[in-house]
Structures are given as structure tokens and as C-alpha cells.
Amino acid sequence: MTDETTPAPPADTQRPPQRVIVTGGDSGIGKACAVALAAPGVQVALTWHTDETGAQDAAREVEAAGATAHVRHLDLVDPAAGAVVVDDLAGVMGGVDAIVLSSGTGTATPFLDLTLEAWREVVSVDLDGAFVCMQASARHMVAGGQGGRVVAITSVHEHAPRVGAAPYCAAKGGLGLLVRTAAIELADHGITVNAVAPGEIATPMTGQEDESVMTQKR
């Protein structure tokens, strides 16, 4: 058992995680991560908010790779729901080795026209919800005593402002600093915490089709 004076061993970066949660796994980066992590013997749990069909399609791709898929609905407008779903999936899978935090939402509203309600909705999903899911999964990793991995999908807009996206930029900036802080605090438990800050991805959230650019006409 791990205690304060005996750090857990670092996560084995050469061994793929066997029990993975991907929030927002119904499309875009989340779906791509879920499919990429799928392999025989691996359990991949993915969540969806509005696109159940997309989630089921992703689950079929996961299973086609030989993995076991678990699908759950998750609405992070109520951030506390994140812990409920993570705890449920940890129970089903027998623990959590890794989580990819890919759920997100945004706005296209000028700063002066923003309502507090609209601000809170974006921050609840993109920052509060990510924190709750990160913390809940990390607690299961600590309990397992084998370390783990956390990957948060932030955005280039945690660094570069975007007009009409004040709450999104603020939330992603906060998430980036949360990742750095959590990485320091969780290191002694053998848990790595990292962020990926991509540019715009073709998904329903950005008003584009979720498809490979290689299939599009130029």
C-alpha cells in the first residue's frame, strides 16, 4: 500500500493502459483517442452528451479492434455528474488506468452580449467538469497503487484569444494550469498529467463534419 513516505512506482509508459475512460468519445479527438487506445484485452469507456449514435459508432470501432467498450451518457453542465460516471465506470472495469478529458463546449457570443448563464455553462463543462472527472479518476488510480495517466484536451486558445469565445478561452486557460498543478501533486503517486492543445477540429461543435480531411474535395 502506498503512503506519504513511499511514492508509487511511475506509470509504465511502455505498457498501454488496460482500463481507459474517454469523455466526449462520440466524435472528434475523443473518438479518435478511444479507437486508437482499443486493443485486445483493453476496456475503453466513452461518454457522450448529445450524440448517442456517434458514441455507439465509436464503440463498434473500439470493439472491432478487439477491446471491450462501455458507453455512458454524461452532461457536465452539472459537473458533479462527472464523478458519478467515473465511479460507475471504475466499478465496471475494476479500476482506471487512464483518462482522456475531451468533453467540451463553447460559444460564439461577443463579450458585451454574454450572459452569466452562458458563461457558467461553458466553464462548467470545460473547466469544472474536467476537474471533477480528473480528480475522481486520479483517486481511483491512487487506490489502485499502480500509477496512471491523465490527458486533458485543452486548446490553442488557452494561449491565443479568440473573439466571441471568452468563456471557452478562460476555461481552457484554467484547465492548462490545472494540468500543471495536478502533475506536480500527483507525481508521487506515479500518475502523469499532460495536456494537448490542438487547433480547430472538424466536429459538430465547430459546425463542421466529423470526417478525415483526406476524403474532402479541394
Query: What is the pLDDT, as a whole number, of residue 209?
Result: 56
Instruction: Indicate the SS3 state at residue 205.
Output: helix
Indicate which residue of 25, 168, 174, 175 is catalytic: 168
Facing residues of 43 across strands? 19, 68
Would you say how long the chain is, in residues?
218
If asked whether residues 153 and 198 sit together in one domain, one would say yes
Range of the domain at 130: 96-202
Q: What pLDDT is attached to residue 203?
A: 54
Annotated catalytic, 177?
no
Q: Is residue 131 part of a domain?
A: yes
Q: Is 13 helix (H, G, I), strand (E, B) or coil?
A: coil
Q: What is the pLDDT of residue 178?
A: 98
Residue 16 resides in a domain:
no
In a domain, 147, yes or no: yes
Same domain, yes or no, for 104 and 40?
no
Contact 124, 107 (CB under 8 A): no
Q: Is residue 80 part of a domain?
A: no
Q: Are residues 61 and 135 in the same domain?
A: no
Task: State residue 212's pLDDT score.
Answer: 53
The reply to whether 64 and 102 lie within a common domain is no
- When divided into structural domains, the chain yields a total of 2
Same domain, residue pair 198 and 148: yes
Last residue of a domain, one of 40, 73, 106: 73
Same domain for 179 and 130: yes
Is residue 11 one of the residues assigned to a domain?
Answer: no
In a domain, 40, yes or no: yes
Q: What is the pLDDT of residue 210?
A: 52
Could you tell me the three cell numbers for 47?
Answer: 461518454
Q: 174 and 118 in one domain?
A: yes
Answer positive or negative: Cα dihedral of 53, 54, 56, 60. positive
> What is the C-alpha separation between 149 and 101, in angstroms, rounded?
11
Same domain? For 122 and 33 the reply is no
What is this structure's pTM?
0.86
How would you write the pLDDT of the chain (218 residues) with one tens digit per residue?
444 445 555 555 557 899 999 999 999 999 999 999 999 999 999 999 999 999 999 999 999 999 999 999 999 999 999 999 999 999 999 999 999 999 999 999 999 999 999 999 999 999 999 999 999 999 999 999 999 999 999 998 878 889 999 999 999 999 999 999 999 999 999 999 999 988 776 555 555 455 554 455 44
Does the residue 15 lie in any domain?
no
- CA–CA distance, 39 with 41 (Å, rounded to integer): 6
Distance CA 34, CA 74 (A): 16
**Residue 65 maps to a domain:** yes
